[in-house]
Amino acid sequence: MNCDAARDRLLKSDDPALPDAELAEHLAACPACRSVAAEAAGLEAAVRAYPTPPSVLVRRDAFLARLAATSPRPVKVRHVAAAFAALAACVVVAVAAVAVLRPPPPDTPVVAQASSNVVEELVEWNLKLSEADEPAAREKLVRDRLPVLQAAIESARLQADDQELAEQLLAQGRKLGSAADPVDEAEAFHVLADTLLVKLDTSTADPTRSVTLAKMYSEVVDRGVDRNLERAEKQALKVEKQVRVQDLRKAKKKQAARAAAVAERIPEPAREHMKGTKVRPKGSNKLPK
């Protein structure tokens, strides 16, 4: 599929954020068409989210009233369908133009939308890529999910720190799709676990977000770090990688100590999802070893 065919299919699709397999394969390899897909998905989302202007509804009702009052002259079904199609097209164009061209009111705050959901999907995608043993399975996961996730990032209004994390996870997913090294992957997920732990420690006032971050942290440690360390230790590693595995084991112990300290400060529902943490008795100032 070339770029012209891909863009034509994007413009004709019911939902640009959900391309078919052939189109998704082209988007995965073509940054320019991915950008077009993201713009189309963003416009589609804006149109769906924007309420139909009252003036359009008035014109629609007036049109339907005129149709009902017309003398019962035989009308072919295709003529009525064409009229409705034309009206629908006018409504869509009008709403899209208003949504895209009209700036938000000056006093309207810009709210970050679906940050947790987008980041959760990206984390799960990275974990599934790491769990896929066959290169073909990884390539399919990248081909099927990369365009959708990229469009989700570009259409969502993420907070600055979530935006940065989402872009890092997108880049890491691309890398996981073309290589499989358990030591590299264990180290990458360890860094991700550190990032999530910092976010968790600064979200103690938000119980819902704390639960989400605690779940993600535990999944990353279990499925991303521990699983890849087990895979690595079953292989005949060179000395350099053996040293890296040993260093990562030490770093994991320090991270677990920090996680135990964070677990004391987060809401109880989130604490239940923390992997391998034991809350210290009150009054104790010693971190777990």
pTM (predicted TM-score)? 0.58
Helices (H), the chain: 3-12, 21-29, 31-49, 54-69, 77-101, 115-131, 135-155, 160-178, 182-201, 207-219, 227-233, 239-263, 268-271
Residue for token pair 């999530």: 196
Q: What is the pLDDT of residues 22-44, one digit of tens each?
A: 878 777 888 787 877 777 777 76
Cβ distance 17 to 132 under 8 Å? no
Burial of 250 (0-12, 13-18, 19+ CB in 10 A): exposed
**Is 30 within 8 Å of 2 (Cβ atoms)?**
no
CA–CA distance, 96 with 75 (Å, rounded to integer):
31
Determine the average pLDDT of the residues in 2-17.
79
Tens of pLDDT, residue by residue over 243-268, are 999 999 999 999 999 999 999 999 99
Q: What is the pLDDT of residue 46?
A: 61
Model pLDDT for residues 127-186, shown as the tens digit of each residue: 999 999 999 999 999 999 999 999 999 998 888 999 999 999 999 999 999 888 999 999
Q: Which of 29-43, 96-110, 192-206 has the highest mean pLDDT?
A: 192-206
44-83 pLDDT tens trace: 666 666 566 666 666 777 777 777 665 555 545 555 556 5
Residue 216 near residue 198, CB atoms below 8 Å: no
pLDDT attached to residue 123: 97
Domain ranges of the chain: 54-101, 115-271
Q: Name which residue leads in pLDDT, 166 or 284.
A: 166
DSSP 103: P
